[in-house]
Structures are given as structure tokens and as C-alpha cells.
Structure 1
Amino acid sequence: MKVDAIVNAANTQLAMGGGVCGAIFRAAGVSRMAAACDRFAPIHTGEAVITPGFNLPSRYVIHTAGPIWRDGKHDEERLLRSCYRNSMELAARQGCASIAFPLISSGIYGYPKAEALHVALDEIRRFLGDAADSGHDLDVYLCVFDKTAFEISSSIDKRLRAYIDDYYVAEHEDTLGSRTYELLALQRFSDNKPKADRAVPSGVLDMPDFLGDMGETPVYSAPSAAPSPKSAGHVDDAVLSNLDEPFNIILLRLIDAKGYSDVEVYKRANINRKLFSKIRCGDGYMPSKKTVLALAIALRLNIDETQDILACAGYALSHSVKFDVIVEFFIVHEMFDVFTINEMLFRYDQPLLGQ
């Protein structure tokens, strides 16, 4: 990954091991990485040290020793939390703008994957909240091999499955045998439309783009058949009354109406400050549909308000797109946690919100 620092799930001796650790040593150059690590060895479980990345695309490697799982009663959670916290603090002190983690201790160290994921997400959220207050902006990526760590609450899973069954217009075979979708209309923007941002960076999750050029091809459909209750904190109708205004103007008005700060919004939307500034400034730039939806989630917009802000950007929710139906489910049920939504999107092989 082309980030400032990647994290090595190391052993306390900082010696070349197997799995992620061995792969990092080999990619960086075994002799130089071993010599750099020898200067710090040994370290305690939960501690973190930093070395150059050598031949890696990343500038640095942060080595942290995760706990070996015994039974969950031997301080494993505290030590695992320390791995993430110490690694991010070290990256911030080094001036890094981005960092990528593996799911520490979830391999041969035996930490249950679902619990390891919970710890990772919780510590990352906590650090990003503190970092926003301190003014340090850090993009944090969590790289996983498969979906086994993503065990969403069974109640949410069941409700979402029922919602998809009710509202998703499944693809079908037409009389010629080719696959098609039940769309009311499809409109493509002209070639001179500004390129939309790509919300999922290459190398994080190697999944196919099931939605194609979703950022550049808005889909217009009939009004949603889904329930659309007004949330308790919905904005005044006047805020979204003029959808012909530039997107950035409407966005800034919504942020003010909700009483949020810019930092709160882009952090909760899972987008970085650079992209948010680009959207905020306008200058003809139009964010992708995924980014607009991430901002709607961050602003806690209800389903009607979400449809309005999408229309302002030239998009609409479509029940012919499973991604749209999943995001709509969370908005309708006022569950505005982008990380939880992304976990479910990942389970359904869909692109993720934010970047």
C-alpha cells in the first residue's frame, strides 16, 4: 500500500517471522529490515517502534507486538488496544498522513477475528476523534483477507435481509438471454463532466466494482417505496428548497443547520480533509454518489433529505442497485455509523462509503 506507514504484526523479538511479518521483511529487504529491528529488540507486547520501509512503497514500517490469545482473561484486550493506539500515536509523531493495519493477532496468535475487529475499529475511532481535536489528520486503513471477521449483529442482519427482499429489484433474464435491470431511466453525464472522486483506494480491498462507474452515471428511478419517516432532527425544508444551487453551497448550509463542524462531518463520512476541502470549494467539482451518501450519513439526514441532496448532485437512490438498498436501509432506520454500514456493504460484496 502506498501509505506513509504500514504496521507489522511483529513478535517481541522483532525477528522475521511468518505470515504478514515475513512478507514485510522480504518485501522491504531482509538484511536491512533485520538490522533496523535489532536496534529496538526486544519490545514488550503492546509496544510499537518505527523503522524505514526500505524497498516497500511505504516510507515507514511500525512494528507492534500483539498479544497471544489464551482465553480472553489474561489482559489480551488491553494489550491489543495498546498495539493500535501506540502505532497511531507513533505515526502521528513521525508526521505521517496515512497508516495501514493488518488485523493484529488474528492469525497464528489466535485472537478471535470478530473480537479483534471490534477492538481495532473502536481504537481507530477513538484515536481519530482525539486527533480531530488536536488538528492532526491521519488516514487509517484496516486491511483484511476475507469476511470471517465481519460478524454483524444477527438482528441487523435479519432486518437488512428482509429489507433487501422487500425493496431490491433483482436482475432478470430478458427474452434474448442477456442480463438487464428494471430501471425506469438511465442518464449519462456529458464527457465534459468533472471526474468524480473514487471513494475506495486501490489496494485496500481487492474487490470488483459491481456498480461500474457509479460516480459518473447517476441512476434516476421512481420515488422510493420504502418507508421514509422524518427523523427527530430533520433540517428545515428551506435548507433544501433550492436544489439548483451549487452542491457545495447546499452542503455548507446543511452543516450549519445541523450545528456540526466541518471536521465532525468529514470524519464521520470517512473521507479525508483534502477531499472535503475540494468539495467545499466547489469550482465545478462534483463528488461521486458514494461520497454524497457518506456525507448524508455524516449529517444524519433522513431518507427524504438524502434524496434531496443526491438530486442536487445529479443522483438518486435506485432499488435496482443493491448498494443503494443497503445504504437506504440504514438511513431509514436512523443508523448513521459509516463503519457499521461499510461492514455490511463488505459482506455483500459492495463498494464502501468514504475512502
Structure 2
Amino acid sequence: MRPVRFSAVATLAAVTALTAVTGCAEKADAGGDGAVKVIATDTSCEVSKKTFPSGHLQLAVENKGSKVTEVYVLYPDDRIVTERENIGPGTKANITAEIKAGSYEIACKPGMKGDGIRQKVEATGGKAVKRAPELDAAVAAYRQYTLDQAEETLPKAKVFADAVKAGDIEAAKKAYAESRIGWERTEPVAESFGDIDPKVDLREDGLEEGQDLEKDWTGWHRLERSLWQDKKITARDKELADLLIKDLTVWQKKVGTAEITPTSMANGAKELLDEVATGKVTGEEERYSHTDLVDFKANVEGAEKSYELLKPVASRNEAALTKELDTRFAELNTLLDKYRADKSTYVFTSYDKVGKAERKELSDGVNALAEPLSKLAAAVAK
């Protein structure tokens, strides 16, 4: 789940963990002369231009508030064009996105909650971005990858749901983490639809004000709590198991319609690293099952898939960047492999058994990869 809905304590922890991820790499002045500057505070979201040409959009974001924030470019129906999460107080971020002519909104979310503070903007002109043939091939291959992941997830999720409905706690526990792998690999695409992610992957502290814990909290993590904390399966849990499959089936059907561009692939890879930094390294994501390292690995695999598909063009434009990314991905994968006995399985050490020093080592590995990965979108857009 995108790490946007935090309790106050979790937010403070996330800001601390994110300093290296979003801060040091993006302290430099953001954007160039043609960039749309976005100034986010705790109470406002100012944009320097309300109208700009379609094509490659450059956003130069600066967070002048006291809270960690995120910035979205949204279609009128709230589908996501591009986003950058976890922009810490006093830091800057550059976002490169491919955008068609039309009406949009730029939204800032102080504290990473709610609908955000929005500005209506317009992309003018009708010229499509000219892409290298390799980029069109990358988009097609990634679209197929997301379809494959959704199709592979559904039967695994059904095994999990069937165990819940049968009242078999141990079988449900065994199936839980594996049922989430495909989702975690491609979560930025799922999040682009807006309503599916909170239905299937919401954490307890992600409920908005006024929502009811028992009525409105659905999905994997609601069942995770029942299995590991409550240690019982209720009639409501069995209903939620059916609802999970229903919602994942909608996701499977929608995946093929997702708006995918080379820059959204690159930005999505960075989002997956942010997912690791704010949910997996901190232990927030799988707080009951402690299966965080399974999600961690899946997030890294999804990010690496996007990178490998974009690498032919990125290496031509920024050879030094791809060399560094190759090294950082290899280092992080090697580090993760320390926590599983067999590389052919997804059986990882329970995260509650991973000590502070080891968590710091994992965090450092994520930070080392996240900084160059944030430059990938700009490299493929050259």
C-alpha cells in the first residue's frame, strides 16, 4: 500500500527514515527554466503556471511546510498521471512526466492524508511525444508484465481466501504473503485507478476521519490482523475474503486499461522504493504477520523490471546512471538474499527477528538505490 495514511507516530518515524531517501538527493535546486514550480506548505499548494504545453512536463517541487507531503498530477476523475510521495519538510523533488493535452489537477497532500490541496491546470497542444522505438517496446512489455502479475495473483489470492472461508488459520497464514507478491510488484499501476488500493491494501491507521474500523476497513491487512493478532476467523472475515477476491478481479480487469508511459514506469519504480522505505523497512506494512521482507523483495523486483525495460534508452542517454543503478540493484538484492535460505522461494526471515543494525543496513541499501532511481524518468525523457 502507498504509505500515505500514517498515524502521527508513524509519520514522525517515516520522516526520519526518509531523510536520506528524499532529502539528501534532492536538496539541490529543483527543475529548469521551463519547469512548473510547485510550492507546498501545510496549508497551500502553489503552482507557477496554470497552463503549459503537453509533452514532457517538468515539475520542480519544494516542500516549505512542516509535514512530509506528496504531489500528484491527476486526471479529472482522480486517476493518477504521476506522483511523488514522501517529500520531506525543507526538501525539493524533480518530477518528469509525459502528459497529453487536457485538463488536470495538481494536488499537494500535507501529512500525506485526504484529498489534498488542489490547483486546476491545463496542458495545451495536441502533439504526441515522439518516442524511440525501444520506449514503445518497453511500454508494451511492461503492460504485459502488469497483466501477467494480476493474472498470477488472483489464483494465489483465492487459495488465501478459501482458507479464510474454511476457518483454517494456519493455511491462511501460509498463503497470505505469497498472495500479495504480484500486487506489490506492480502497485503503482493499481494505485493509478484510485479506488482499488484502499479497498484491498489499506492499513488500520489509513482510515480517514469518520470511517468505521469494522465497516470500512477491508482487504488483506484487515484479515492479517484477524489471523495473527486476534487469532480467530469471524463471519465478517469470511465476507471480507470474498470481497477481496471481488476487488482483485476488478483490478485484474482494469490493469490492461492503465495509462502507461516510459516516465510513469520510471516514476513507478521510484514509488516502489518509497514503499520499501516507509512501510517495509519500518515494519509498518505487515505489522501483524511480519512478512515485510516478502513485500520488500516484490517491490524491488517490480522496480527492477521497469528499470531493465527502460535501460536501453537510459544507458544511451545517461551511461553513468545506468552503471550505478546496475550496481545498486545488485547490492540490494544480495542484501535481501541474506534473509532467505533458498533463492527459489519467497520464504524470508520474519521481520520481527531482524535487529536494529540489520534494519539500518537494509535502509541504507534502499537509500543508495533510491537516489539514482529518482533520475531515471529524466534520463528516458531526453
Greater relative contact order structure (CA < 8 Å, 6+ sep): 2
Shorter-normalised TM-score: what interval? under 0.3
Higher alpha-carbon Rg: 1
Structure with the larger strand share: 2
TM-score (norm: length of structure 1): 0.25
Structure with the larger helix share: 2
TM-score (norm: length of structure 2): 0.24
